[in-house]
Structures are given as structure tokens and as C-alpha cells.
């Protein structure tokens, strides 16, 4: 996504932030059809108009003017909506876009409070990851949530697919999971109430356990990840990291791990 032209970047960020063409074009004092044509690559806009519109969607004027290689303004909280429910690549495109401009990202999967999880566990047997918070190497902080207030981002099902994708990135990802307080959960659902200060505090909490997931994998580890996902059909979330940890710290061999996973995933195993 790094190769997006400026008009394509405008459209992507505007849509990800849930802003309409009318809202953004009005801020620049231009007609909505003019922005529509610009985003389609059918017309140009003045630098002044672009700067005014960029200010409404957190784009750095230095980037718009061609004096910076990084598109986002730092200092605030950049809030984006997932493009669709469930984990599909398009849902995480805002994360992948930032990764294209960054060398390192810390990602926190935000889980609903325990009192809510008890209800959800009975229904689906999985944690409810309802939002993603991430910080890049320029200390820009982002928050992704479903467009609908109660929409799930159920990474517990498709987390391996996320890891599979980021393994291909030049950006190093460190991932943690955090059960949020009811107060923060309500702020994020309210959306307008949540601030950079609220999210930034998560990255400095002492109990955060970030794990790098795509740096310096050995050939055996990479082979293990591929085999594991084929066997489990992307249904378990944390096993990738658990297996890598076991292989590194306990010197568990590839064949032994495969035998263990096969026993757990075969019919009648009781798991």
C-alpha cells in the first residue's frame, strides 16, 4: 500500500476514518464532486485545498507538500474504522498501511472486560477482541474499531492469518493482548470520548508482555508455522507464539511439535 498515489491515500484514510466526501471537501471550501473526481484521479486540486482537507484526516502537511516520507501527523490519536466485520485483510488495511511507512510497530489486541467476556464465552467460547491499538516508531498512536459500536474483531479465530501476513513485512511487529477496564471499553465504544492519553497509557503499563512475531525466524520455525496452520486451519490464536517459544527455550524439535499438534487436532482427542 506504500505505493498509493496521494489521491488514493486521501481516499483510503478518509474512508478508514469514517469521514464523508462532503465533510472533507467542505473543510477546504470546495464542492464534493471536485473531491470525488480527485480521489478517482480524474482531476487535480490546489495545494491549499489539499492541505485543508489533509488537516481533517490527520495527514501531515509536510507529506502533502512532498517534504516528508511519512503521511501522518503525530501528537494525537488517529482513529480508524475496520472496513468490514470479522478478520479479513481489508479489515486490517489501516494497520498494514502504517507498517509500510514504519520499521517497528507495537500492537495491542484489546479484549472486552471479564464481566462481558463471561457472556461471550458461553456463546462462542473465545475472547472478544473488539479493538486494536498500535504505536509506530514515530510514536504515532492508532486505534481501530469496527464501524458498528458492538462489532467484533475476533482475532482469536484468525490470529494466525494476521501473523502470516506480517511475517512478509519489513516492519517488525511486537504483539500483546490486554483486557481493558470497563471505563476504557465504554470510551472506545463511544469513540469520540477516547483520547490519545487513554491509549498511550496502555503501552507503558508494567504487565504488558509484547512478543516479536516476525523477526529472525529460523528455517525450522518458518516450516513449523506453515505446517501448524495447515493442520489447525487457522482456528487457534496463540499457539504460533507458544510453539516458537517452546522450540527456542526447550529445544523441542519440529517433528515432536507436529506429533503433539496432530494428537490434539485429531478426532476423538478430547480437545
Distance (Å, rounded) from C-alpha 193 to C-alpha 32?
29
Residue 133 CB burial class (10 angstroms; 0-12, 13-18, ≥19): buried
Is the pLDDT confidence value at 209 over 50? yes
Q: Each residue of 7-41: pLDDT tens digit?
A: 999 999 999 999 999 999 999 999 999 999 999 99
Q: Where are the domains of the chain?
A: 1-73, 74-208, 219-265
Q: Each residue of 220-242: pLDDT tens digit?
A: 766 665 665 555 444 434 555 55
Query: What burial letters (b/e) apply to 8-37, b meaning 16+ CB within 10 Å?
Result: ebbbbbbbbbeeebebbbbbbebeeebbee
Q: DSSP class of residue 59?
A: B
Most confident of 95-99, 164-168, 225-229, 263-267: 95-99
The reply to whether CATH 1.10.260.40 applies to domain 1-73 is yes
* Range of lowest pLDDT (23-32, 72-81, 85-94, 95-104): 85-94
Which of the four pLDDT bands, split at 50, 70 and 90, describes residue 185? very high
Tell me the average pLDDT of the chain. 79
Give the rounded percent of residues in the chain with a pLDDT score beyond 90.
45
Sequence-ordered list of residues with C-beta below 8 angstroms from that of 37, at least 6 positions apart, any chain: 43
Amino acid at each position: 500500500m506504500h505505493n498509493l498515489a496521494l489521491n488514493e491515500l486521501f481516499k483510503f484514510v478518509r474512508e478508514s476514518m469514517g469521514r464523508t466526501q462532503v465533510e472533507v471537501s467542505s473543510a477546504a471550501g470546495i464542492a464534493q464532486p471536485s473531491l470525488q473526481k480527485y480521489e478517482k484521479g480524474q482531476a487535480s486540486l490546489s495545494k491549499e485545498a489539499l492541505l485543508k482537507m489533509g488537516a481533517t484526516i490527520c495527514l501531515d502537511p509536510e507529506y502533502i507538500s512532498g517534504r516528508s516520507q511519512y503521511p501522518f501527523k503525530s501528537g494525537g490519536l488517529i482513529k480508524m474504522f475496520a472496513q468490514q466485520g470479522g478478520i479479513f485483510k481489508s479489515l486490517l488495511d489501516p494497520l498494514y498501511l502504517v507498517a509500510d511507512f514504519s520499521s517497528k510497530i507495537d500492537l495491542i489486541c484489546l479484549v472486552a472486560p471479564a464481566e462481558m467476556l463471561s457472556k461471550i464465552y458461553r456463546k462462542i467460547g473465545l475472547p472478544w477482541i473488539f479493538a486494536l491499538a498500535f504505536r509506530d516508531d514515530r510514536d504515532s498512536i492508532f486505534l481501530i474499531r469496527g464501524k458498528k459500536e458492538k462489532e467484533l474483531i475476533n482475532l482469536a479465530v484468525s490470529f494466525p492469518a494476521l501473523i502470516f501476513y506480517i511475517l512478509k513485512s519489513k516492519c517488525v511487529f511486537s504483539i500483546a493482548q490486554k483486557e481493558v477496564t470497563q471505563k476504557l471499553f465504554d470510551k472506545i465504544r463511544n469513540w469520540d470520548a477516547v483520547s490519545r492519553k487513554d491509549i498511550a497509557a496502555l503501552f507503558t503499563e508494567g504487565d504488558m508482555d509484547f512478543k516479536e512475531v516476525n523477526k529472525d525466524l529460523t528455517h525450522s520455525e518458518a516450516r513449523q508455522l506453515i505446517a501448524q496452520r495447515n493442520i489447525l486451519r487457522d482456528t487457534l490464536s496463540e499457539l504460533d507464539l507458544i510453539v516458537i517459544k517452546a522450540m527456542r527455550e526447550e529445544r523441542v524439535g519440529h517433528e515432536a511439535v507436529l506429533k503433539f499438534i496432530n494428537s490434539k487436532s485429531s478426532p476423538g482427542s478430547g480437545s
